[in-house]
Structure 1
Amino acid sequence: MASEAAPVGTESDQSRPNVARMYDYYLGGCHNFAPDRAAAEQVLSIFPDTPVAAQTNRHFLRRAVRHLATEVGIRQFLDIGAGLPTQGNVHEIVRECAPGSRVVYVDVDPVAVAYARQLLAGAPDTTVLRADVRRPDELLADPEVNRLIDFSEPVAVLLVAVLHFVRDAEDPWASVARLRDEGVPGSALVLSHLTLDGAPPVPAQAGRAVYQQSSAPLVPRTHADISRFFDGYDLVEPGLVWWGDWRPEPAPDGDRPGGVSHGYGGVGLRR
């Protein structure tokens, strides 16, 4: 099922594929338009297991958030590049395992923000704002961030499937370091990132070409380059691994619990 109407009060170029709406389509969501679905289908013709990988990434997010809430005791979550609201999002996870936790969702796309505000209206201790991970000072100074997030206490910064849309020239490592420096020791970074490690070069280039026509180019990175985002953090075991291999839970059907992964994920605690 797909939506052909943007939220009231938003302006969106619906003729151009949008990476957040393409991801929503991979996850089986309904907040996408015909150009998003057409581009996503091109990707699926190259990498047919992309929807499974997208679900594996979402499962990684849930396990990481649950770990930080229940095992580490963090009660503040800043989800940057949150995209379109999907079932099992951060505020739903912490509501179950750590009631009273505060969640701030951030995205640069106005339609994603508008949808999130509609769907999360009235949700306690939760807010949504438009900001850009490439401008961390502006993000950290936003009144809505500071209304719910107290940076004198540990906070978890979530950067899940977002930094592979930031070019090297825009120095995403500096942005992550700025967010790290705002937090106190014991704060956390949850990060997942697309890679082409091990992917055949021809289909990999074809997949990237689809995203060149979308709202953001695709910038897959190697394990070594992704590891640099965790400078200043101590990685939680098992470290930076394939999404499905980060503390996998037993699969109900007895199959390997990890699932299909197209990238690496990890959780770090600030020193």
Structure 2
Amino acid sequence: MTDSPAPSVSGQRAPVGVDPTRASIARVYDAFLNGKDNYEIDRAVLKQVQEHMPSAQELAFENRGFLIRVCRFLATQTDIDQFLDLGSGLPTAENVHQVVQRVRPDARVNYVDNDPVVLAHGRALLEENENCRFVAADIFDPKAILENEEIRHFIDFNKPLGLFQMGTLHHYNGPRDAPKEMMRTLIDALPSGSFVALSHFLDPQNEHSTTARDAEEAFLHSPMGSGTFRTHDELLELFPGLELVEPGLVRCADWWPDGPQLRPLTSAQRCIAGAVGRKP
């Protein structure tokens, strides 16, 4: 990271601590969603992946749509009124608090991320909503998350909560089995009645597998350097001890869509999956 501010795409200067010459997961997702809080290096990742998966932006749009529908489900169909969103990324329409607080105005939402740009947006969020908190922490260190005093002061781990890992674990660069242990640690700490929602890049193990693996290689060899596609069975291992809500682990596009699917799914829409599980 550099301490010298650098020009941004809008002519403004990058926040201190932000290196516009290195891709950021949060800013890359922003580029995938046609946002404005990204740099050329982040857009380069999108272009590189699009060479192998032209519909690549649908990965981000399906992930966001899934998040919104899950928030709506938990706010309207359960008694959950506190949410812990790990790897929240840059604010975009709609965010967790916007969806759940429309139904439950007093619902608490704790966002966690460690990207400097996200931190700047998070601080602004604190000023406008007393029921939101932002904590800067490493989402791939579950013990640190669970022991974080700010989080434990705001989230009551003695009552059910909603835990989100939306589009995060496929960006972990360590041992392939590590995300499974991360999720086990987090789930073990949740009280009975809690819900866990997770989305992840999918290798569908069919005629679209080649596209998924090519996109994976593009992600891994891009300036961002992460983006693992796992199989359905591998993703099921990320929900240890949970009872999956119908329809179970499916493509994000198939998890209680807002309307009928009139157009054929793109390759990208077939290569991201999600599920919601309840802890007995």
Identify unmatched segments of 5+ residues in structure 1.
none
The aligned counterpart of 1:43 is 49
Shift of 1:91: 0.5
Q: Deviations over 1:174-221 (max 9, x none)?
A: 111111111111001000000122334367335523433434422111
Q: 1:122 to 1:61 in 2, by over 3 A?
A: same
Once structures 1 and 2 are overlaid, which stretch shifts more, 77-86 or 46-55?
46-55
Once structures 1 and 2 are overlaid, which stretch shifts more, 204-213 or 129-138?
204-213
Q: 1:194 to 1:158 in 2, by over 3 A?
A: same
The aligned counterpart of 1:183 is 190
Partner amino acid, structure 1, of 2:242 = Y
What CA distance in whole angstroms lies between the structure 2 residues aligned with 1:103 and 1:215? 28
Shift of 1:7: 5.7
- Kept after mapping to 2: 8 A contact 1:95/1:101: yes
- How many residues in Structure 1 have an aligned counterpart in Structure 2? 268
- Kept after mapping to 2: 8 A contact 1:19/1:216: no
What CA distance in whole angstroms lies between the structure 2 residues aligned with 1:234 and 1:70? 19
Task: Give the alignment partner of residue 101 of structure 2, picking from 95, 99, 104.
Answer: 95
What CA distance in whole angstroms lies between the structure 1 residues aligned with 2:78 and 2:57? 31
Identify unmatched segments of 5+ residues in structure 2.
1-7
Partner amino acid, structure 1, of 2:118 = A
The SS at the match of 1:226 is: helix
Partner amino acid, structure 2, of 1:69 = A
Shift of 1:52: 2.7
Summarize the alignment of residues 213-252 of structure 1 with structure 2, pairs less than 5 Å apart. 213-250=222-259
Summarize the alignment of residues 1-271 of structure 1 with structure 2, pairs less than 5 Å apart. 2-3=9-10, 5=12, 8=15, 10-167=16-173, 169=175, 171-197=178-204, 198=206, 199-201=208-210, 204-205=213-214, 207-250=216-259, 255=262, 260-271=269-280
Partner amino acid, structure 2, of 1:154 = P
Give TM-score, length-normalised by structure 2. Answer: 0.87
What CA distance in whole angstroms lies between the structure 2 residues aligned with 1:168 and 1:114? 27
Partner amino acid, structure 2, of 1:183 = L
- Kept after mapping to 2: 8 A contact 1:4/1:32: no
Q: 1:46 to 1:179 in 2, by over 3 A?
A: same
Once structures 1 and 2 are overlaid, which stretch shifts more, 229-238 or 114-123?
114-123
The aligned counterpart of 2:4 is none
The SS at the match of 1:185 is: coil
Shift of 1:66: 1.1
Give TM-score, length-normalised by structure 1. Answer: 0.90
What CA distance in whole angstroms lies between the structure 2 residues aligned with 1:266 and 1:28? 25
The SS at the match of 1:138 is: helix
